[in-house]
Structure formats: structure tokens, C-alpha cells
Amino acid sequence: MRDVLDGTTRLDGTARLDGTRGAGGTAASFAAAAAAAAASAASSGADEKCGSASNDDKVMSAAEAVRRFVLPGSIVGMGGQNINRCPMALVHEIVRQGVGGLVLMGCNLSLPADMLVAAGLVVRTEQGSGNLERYGTLFAWRRAVERGEIVVEDHSHLTMVTRFLAGSLGLPFIPTLSLLGSDMAPPADGTPRGSMAAAVDPWAGQPVVLLRKARPDVSLLHVHAADARGNVIIEGVTSHEIEMAKASAVTIVTCEELVEDHEVSRRPEQVSLPSAYVGAVVVQPFGAFPTSVYRRYDFSEDDIVEYQSVARAGDADVRRWLDEHVRAVADFDGFLARRDPAGTVRAELVSTMETITMETITMETML
């Protein structure tokens, strides 16, 4: 594995498309992370739950993945959308480890962002929105923004995806027609505003907006399945996640299910994200709880409403909630056991999703 300081290698040992790494963190911190990954890959005594970060076996615990790849000051790309497939297990682990100074990027940052902000770990967000739709805004995030504790750069969802696309292609910026005519558009004189600047199409002479690339240091995804090498299978909508992961220095995935390599080889067309972009695979059933996973389980409305009620009450209340439900347990399995001791809630969520899936299949058949 080449030294990450030369800017040509991902933290998992594979080359980046444009020979650069993300902008967050320091060179020394990324070199340390690379060294730790290389040392672990050389070890032959790791068990399956805490395996090496080699190209052949990237399975490890959430605690190990966060220690290696989520460094203080990191730019963190957030997968998931609203109440769907949010990387909750990884976010809980970041809270437990107290990794701070983070910059969060995503489309709808949703529940994970609010928890990280409430824990005092975020200094900046760049997003399309920050809310839980019908369940309300992100209350801890909003209060921190109003107090001036967090810098916010607003985008549309489309411009965030386009920025990730630029990063994945190794482009310094990319033109778009999005935002033109809106109050989010940058000044017409070409003065940059945040990650955008107005320009003129040199062929058509029409105005365009130039968007600066987005290059997270690490992205967090929860997915349906992955193999030990890091080939990822996502069913249903992926929104911004594929472009974001390809733009990132490294991606950590939690998965509902670990599949054998030969299963992926038999179904290569189902691979949403190849292993070259993935540095760690964490096997964590219900790793998106209380958000949903398409065709696996529905979202837990009661748990989301409870969190929103606590977050609305104030910072002290949500910090107590994090102490009791996140920091007081060793891992995400402990959180699930505390929230749903008998497993009845999860069983019901699985049953609800099975019903929804069958109804959808039936409707499609009738069309």
C-alpha cells in the first residue's frame, strides 16, 4: 500500500481516480490511519468480526471502522435519506468515541446529523435540507445554527449530487443549470459564494452555475448486503450515495447481511458499489433502525417521534437521551436490546415491510 501522503491512494489501498484525497483532517492524521490499516492487514490473527482492511477481507466491527477512518476534522458524507436507510449504527459509534470537528455532507442530513450535532461533534454542514419531513425539523441542528455554532452551506438536493458527481469524476468543478433564477444562485458577476459561482457557457452564451467538487474523507452507508471484499448491493433508491462513495477517500458500509463472494460473482449486475471504493464492512442487522430498509423492515414511527419530542425539548434533554441510549451501551446491538428487549418491535417492522412489498408486487402484476 502506497503512502497516503502522496495523495494517490485510498485508505483501503486502491488508487483514486484523480490522484487526490479529501480536504478534511490533516496529512499526519491520514498517514496514521493508513498505517493502522496496513498494520491490521498484515495481522493474521483477527477474527471475522474484527478482520483486516485488506482487499480480500474488510469485515470489522463498527468500533474498529470508526477508529480507523473517522478522524477528528473529517469531512463525512452521510448516506440515507430522511427516514430511509440512514447509517445509524455508525453514527452511534461516532458519538460513543466522541470524534469531533466534523463537516457533514449529504442531501437530507436527517436524524444522524441531529444526533452528531447534539453530541457537540459538528462544526459545519453542507446539505440539500435538514429535516425529518412530517416529523419536523432537526431541532438540535437548528438551535446550533441559530447560536452560530455551526456553519451551514445550503444547496438543493440536485446540486449536492452534482458536486459528488464532480468529485467522483476527478473534476475540480462542474456546470449546472440548477439554482438559476432562485435566491440560492450565486452573484451574477462571478464572485464565488461558498461552493458555487456564476459563469457563462462559452458556446451558447447562456448563464450557468459552476459547482465545486465535493470530496468526503469518509462516507457512511447502510446497505442491504455486502461481501467481505466490500462489493455492495443496495435495493431500491440510492439517491446521492453512489456518486458520494466514489468521490470519497474511503467508505464504511454497515450491511444487513454478509454474502459469500461467489454469490456476488454470480450476480455482478446487482453490485451497486464495487469493492474498490469500500474500506470497511460492518455486519449489522437493523443497522438503520429506527429508519427503514427497503424490502427488509419499515421505519419505527414511535422511536422517531420519541426522539423528536426529546430533541424539541432542548439540548440538555437530547444529551441525556444520548447518554442513556447510546453512550451507556457497548455497541449498536446493545442499543437495539435496550430499545426493543423482546425483539417484538423489529419483528413487526419486518412484517409491515413484507406486507408493503407483497402489495407492491401485486399492483405491478395488475398493471
pLDDT in tens, 85-99: 999 999 999 999 999
Is it true that the peptide bond before 285 is cis, omega within 30 degrees of 0?
A: no
Fold that domain 4-157+215-339 belongs to in CATH: Glutaconate Coenzyme A-transferase (3.40.1080)
From the number of C-beta atoms within 10 Å of its C-beta (0-12, 13-18, 19+), residue 284 rates as buried
Which of the residues in the chain have pLDDT under 70? 1-55
- The pLDDT, as a whole number, for residue 160 is 97
Pick from 214, 171, 174: nearest CA to 22: 214
- The pLDDT, as a whole number, for residue 171 is 98
Residue 311: count of CB within 10 angstroms of its CB: 26
- The b-or-e profile of 190-214 (16+ CB within 10 A means b, else e) is eeeeebbbbeeeeeeeeebbbbbbb
Distance CA 53, CA 31 (A): 15
Phi, psi of 97, rounded to the nearest 5 degrees: -85, -15
Residue 102: count of CB within 10 angstroms of its CB: 25
- The pLDDT, as a whole number, for residue 359 is 82
- Residue 357 grid coordinates: 412489498
- 150: Cβ contacts below 8 Å, ≥ 6 apart: 117, 122, 123, 124, 125, 141, 144
Distance CA 296, CA 185 (A): 40
Amino acid at 152: V
- The pLDDT, as a whole number, for residue 203 is 97
223 three-class SS: strand
Distance CA 249, CA 229 (A): 17
**For 4-57, what is each residue's pLDDT tens digit?**
222 333 444 444 333 333 334 444 443 444 444 444 433 433 343 333 444 589
The full DSSP string for 10-67 is: -TTS-B-TTS---SSS-HHHHHHHHHHHHHHHH-S---GGG---SSS--B--HHHHHH
Residue 249 CA, chain-centre distance (Å), reads: 13
Distance CA 60, CA 208 (A): 45
- The pLDDT, as a whole number, for residue 55 is 57
Domain spans of the chain, in order of start: 4-157+215-339, 173-212
pTM of the model: 0.85
Distance CA 326, CA 338 (A): 10
259 three-class SS: coil
Torsion, Cα 292 296 298 300, to 10 degrees, reads -70
- Residue 104 grid coordinates: 457533514
**Is the Cα torsion angle 317, 321, 322, 327 positive or negative in sign?**
positive
Phi, psi of 46, rounded to the nearest 5 degrees: -75, 145
